[in-house]
Chains A and B, each alone.
Chain A
């Protein structure tokens, strides 16, 4: 995928975690599975550990952990929790179930 097509079709996701808490680990695992299933080759995931730098919470106004932010495509969307309900995540990210 080229940078241009990524800009057009790609999902740029940011997951806020707190170290290795069980829900953080679960959220990352669920997200990866979901992306591989529905967005193969069309996504990037940035994991931000707030345990290492709590100040980063201010950037996306995070209040609960884990929280997923969809940066691209716009508009910005957020999903709070461990992403265990795949259907709700797909809806939240505007991804049509395939």
Chain B
């Protein structure tokens, strides 16, 4: 310990000499001096050369301010950011560099945002870091400026990308973005579901093999080979080409193929956006609508023919205009009731009992004067109108001349099924009405009944004028040879 103390005591003199000699020799380039806040490193000339190089090369702008806020040093990056030379910058005030609010040194050593005013008058968003330092007894401020425009641009691009991505994700159509070579760079969720395999990176034609829906459009698609189709889709606008996908999963589905160019900032086409819209449901609805309109047309024509026919028939057998008016109104009413039944049953048909109740309601079917008896029978739609008209004729006649014209008269309607339920035999029997004299047809609506049963029910009607009352027997087929959904023909004339 004593030896060490001796060395320590001897050291200052030796060290001082050695230090002076080393400095003289030029083998040291920095010295430590005692400053007000502790030891400070003072660089000798040339020692900070590497720092200069680094500062000049750094991608941030850097500058030093004196205590008055005047610029004493700038690096070359700061010159580039401002668009001014170092000579123009040194000596200027720090405040003159900025548009708007002046950045301040922050206690947390963080950066603050500012707008750097450039020589061309434009502003550049920068992030500013500042720190005050005591340098050899004077106070200086060191400042760095980071160009935020690149960062902002990157943020904008990322935001735009996220935005576009979310649109693609939400799109109900299959949307794909093609590069100029026809390869898919982006695909919406729907597109991914439609594709045979993961679409991104593939050629459009590989993932979505197309067939045109119409002959003319087939030509459009055929003009292109597979490669040239990809090329065409990527470079030419397409509008509303109806296509199908050659994929077993998509059979029977129709798509609308559209495409338009994707342009960059410079308005150059860099690819295209192609959409495949599933129009299967739309087409189905259109076809159904077309069919319904045609059906409606057909039915309206039929109704007009019926009205015309009933009018002619009634006119021939009416002795006077009031008589015509009454008979015609009644018959048209019967047509109307029949149509109501058809509409309510959606043209499916109706039970015979129900038809009788509805059609004969105005003639006291619920009052016990008209009774019906027979097995349950479902009448096809085509039978409803003619049978309604026949029943209407019979009931009208009965109320005018037959059983229903007398207080105690009754009508009994009974029926049986014949020929293995293919045919129906219905008997309309009137009793209790006025006695009928032999051969007393008396302007009875027999012509209409006869024609309707023969032509529209494809059956036969036998009308017997028995002395106690009428017996009308109708025999007709319950099932048609043609399709059961067919519209009933004219009540008096075949359609």
Interface residues in chain A, defined as those with a beta carbon under 8 Å from any beta carbon in chain B:
18-24, 50-51, 54-55, 57-58, 62-67, 74-76, 78, 80-82, 84
List chain A residues, Cβ under 8 A from B25: 81
* Contact of B32 (CB < 8 Å), options: A21, A57, A82, A84: A57
Question: Shortest Cβ distance from B129 into chain A, in angstroms?
Answer: 18
* Contact of A66 (CB < 8 Å), options: B4, B28, B40, B49: B28
* Contact of B31 (CB < 8 Å), options: A22, A24, A63, A74: A63
List chain B residues, Cβ under 8 A from A19: 50-51
Say yes or no: A22-B28 contact (C-beta < 8 A), given A55-B39, A64-B22: no
- Contact A75 B4, beta carbon cutoff 8 Å: yes
List chain A residues, Cβ under 8 A from B23: 64
Question: Shortest Cβ distance from B20 into chain A, in angstroms?
Answer: 9
List chain A residues, Cβ under 8 A from B27: 23, 80-82, 84
- Jot down 6 A-B pairs with beta carbons below 8 A, ordered by A: A54-B39, A54-B41, A64-B30, A78-B11, A80-B15, A81-B25
Say yes or no: A20-B15 contact (C-beta < 8 A), given A63-B32, A65-B29, A82-B28: no
- Contact A22 B50, beta carbon cutoff 8 Å: yes
Q: Please encode chain B, from 39 to 78, with 1 for each CB lying within 8 Å of some chain A CB and 0 for all others.
A: 1110100111111000000000000000000000000000
* Contact of A21 (CB < 8 Å), options: B11, B18, B30, B38: B30
Question: Shortest Cβ distance from A73 into chain B, in angstroms?
Answer: 13
Within 8 Å of chain A (Cβ to Cβ): is B138?
Answer: no
- Contact A80 B18, beta carbon cutoff 8 Å: yes
Say yes or no: A21-B31 contact (C-beta < 8 A), given A50-B41, A63-B19, A78-B15: no
Q: Please encode chain B, from 142 to 181, with 1 for each CB lying within 8 Å of some chain A CB and 0 for all others.
A: 0000000000000000000000000000000000000000
Question: Shortest Cβ distance from B396 into chain A, in angstroms?
Answer: 119
- Contact A81 B22, beta carbon cutoff 8 Å: yes
Question: Shortest Cβ distance from A92 into chain B, in angstroms?
Answer: 10
- Contact B32 A80, beta carbon cutoff 8 Å: no
- Contact B39 A18, beta carbon cutoff 8 Å: no
- Contact B39 A57, beta carbon cutoff 8 Å: yes
Question: Shortest Cβ distance from B28 into chain A, in angstroms?
Answer: 4
**Complex: how many Å from CA A51 to CA B42?**
10
Question: Shortest Cβ distance from A17 into chain B, in angstroms?
Answer: 9
List chain A residues, Cβ under 8 A from B47: 18, 21-23
**Complex: how many Å from CA A78 to CA B11?**
10
Question: Shortest Cβ distance from A98 into chain B, in angstroms?
Answer: 24
User: Nearest CB to that of B50 among chain A residues?
Assistant: A20
User: Nearest CB to that of A16 among chain B residues?
Assistant: B32
**Complex: how many Å from CA A98 to CA B32?**
35
**Complex: how many Å from CA A55 to CA B27?**
22
* Contact of A58 (CB < 8 Å), options: B31, B39, B43: B39
- Contact A55 B38, beta carbon cutoff 8 Å: yes
List chain B residues, Cβ under 8 A from A75: 3-4, 7
List chain B residues, Cβ under 8 A from A64: 19, 22-23, 28, 30-32
Question: Shortest Cβ distance from B389 into chain A, in angstroms?
Answer: 113
**Complex: how many Å from CA A58 to CA B19?**
16
**Complex: how many Å from CA A84 to CA B29?**
14
- Contact B46 A22, beta carbon cutoff 8 Å: yes
**Complex: how many Å from CA A50 to CA B30?**
10
**Complex: how many Å from CA A32 to CA B19?**
22
List chain A residues, Cβ under 8 A from B15: 63, 78, 80
List chain B residues, Cβ under 8 A from A20: 50-51
* 3 tightest Cβ-Cβ pairs between the two chains A and B: A81-B27, A65-B30, A18-B30
List chain A residues, Cβ under 8 A from B30: 18, 21, 23-24, 50, 64-65
